[in-house]
C-alpha cells in the first residue's frame, strides 16, 4: 500500500514504474544544470533534452536561454546545442543563426560551429531557408563555408521534396 501512495505522490512515475518526462517537475533540473560539476550538468541536460523531445516546450526554451547566457566554454556549448537539436522552433533557428554570425571560426570554435550547423540542418526548411540564404551572402564567411550552407539548403530542399512525394497519393495510384 505504501508503494501505491508513493506513486500517487510522484505522478511522473507510471503505473508500470517508468519515468514520464512529460510530468516530471522541471524546477530541480533547472537548478541542477547550473551546478559546476560536469555530472550534474550532463545529467540535467539529458533530462531537459528528453523533456523537450517529448513536447515540453518550456525545456527547449530554457535550453535556448541557457545557451544564450552561457560563457564561451565551447565544450559546454556543444553539449547544449546537441541537446537543443530537435527543438524545431523559429526562435531556436534564429538563435542558432545568430551564433553562426557571432562566433568567429577558429581551431577552438570549429567543433562548436559544426554542432550549430548540424542542429540547423536538422530543422525543417521553412525555419532555416532565409537564414541559410542570408549566410550565403555574408562576406564574413569563406567560400568554403558558403558552399557548406548551400549544400545544407539543397539537401533540405530535396529531403522535403522526397517527403512530399512519399506522402502524396501519387505513388499509391
Q: What is the pLDDT of residue 94?
A: 98
pLDDT digits (tens, 9 = 90+) for 49-60: 999 999 999 999
pLDDT digits (tens, 9 = 90+) for 86-142: 999 999 999 999 999 999 999 999 999 999 999 999 999 999 999 999 999 999 999
Distance CA 16, CA 121 (A): 37
Which pLDDT band, with edges at 50, 70 and 90, does 20 fall under?
Answer: confident
125: CB partners within 8 A, 6+ apart: 153, 156, 157, 159, 160
Which pLDDT band, with edges at 50, 70 and 90, does 17 fall under?
Answer: confident
Please provide the average confidence, as pLDDT, over all residues in the chain.
89
| H-state helical runs in the chain | 2-9, 27-33, 38-53, 57-69, 74-84, 90-102, 110-121, 125-137, 143-167
Q: 59 or 13, which is more confident?
A: 59
Distance CA 59, CA 1 (A): 34
Q: Judge contact between 155 and 124, C-beta under 8 A.
A: no
Which pLDDT band, with edges at 50, 70 and 90, does 147 fall under?
Answer: very high
List the grid coordinates of 15: 503505473
Distance CA 48, CA 26 (A): 8
Distance CA 91, CA 82 (A): 16
The reported pTM is 0.83
Q: What angle do CA 72, 58, 110 make, to 5 degrees?
A: 25
Amino acid at each position: 500500500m505504501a508503494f501505491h501512495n508513493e506513486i500517487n505522490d510522484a505522478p511522473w512515475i507510471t503505473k508500470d514504474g517508468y519515468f514520464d518526462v512529460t510530468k516530471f517537475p522541471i524546477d530541480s533540473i533547472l537548478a541542477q544544470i547550473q551546478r559546476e560539476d560536469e555530472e550534474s550538468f550532463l545529467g540535467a541536460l539529458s533530462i531537459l533534452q528528453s523533456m523537450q523531445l517529448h513536447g515540453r516546450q518550456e525545456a527547449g526554451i530554457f535550453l535556448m536561454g541557457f545557451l544564450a547566457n552561457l560563457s564561451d566554454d565551447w565544450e559546454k556549448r556543444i553539449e547544449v546545442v546537441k541537446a537543443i537539436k530537435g527543438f524545431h522552433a523559429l526562435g531556436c533557428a534564429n538563435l542558432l543563426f545568430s551564433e553562426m554570425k557571432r562566433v568567429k571560426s577558429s581551431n577552438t570554435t570549429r567543433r562548436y560551429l559544426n554542432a550549430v550547423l548540424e542542429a540547423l540542418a536538422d530543422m525543417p526548411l521553412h525555419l532555416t531557408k532565409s537564414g541559410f540564404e542570408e549566410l550565403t551572402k555574408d562576406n564574413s564567411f569563406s567560400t568554403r563555408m558558403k558552399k557548406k550552407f548551400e549544400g545544407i539548403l539543397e539537401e533540405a530542399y530535396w529531403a522535403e521534396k522526397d517527403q512530399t512525394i512519399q506522402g502524396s497519393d501519387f505513388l499509391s495510384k
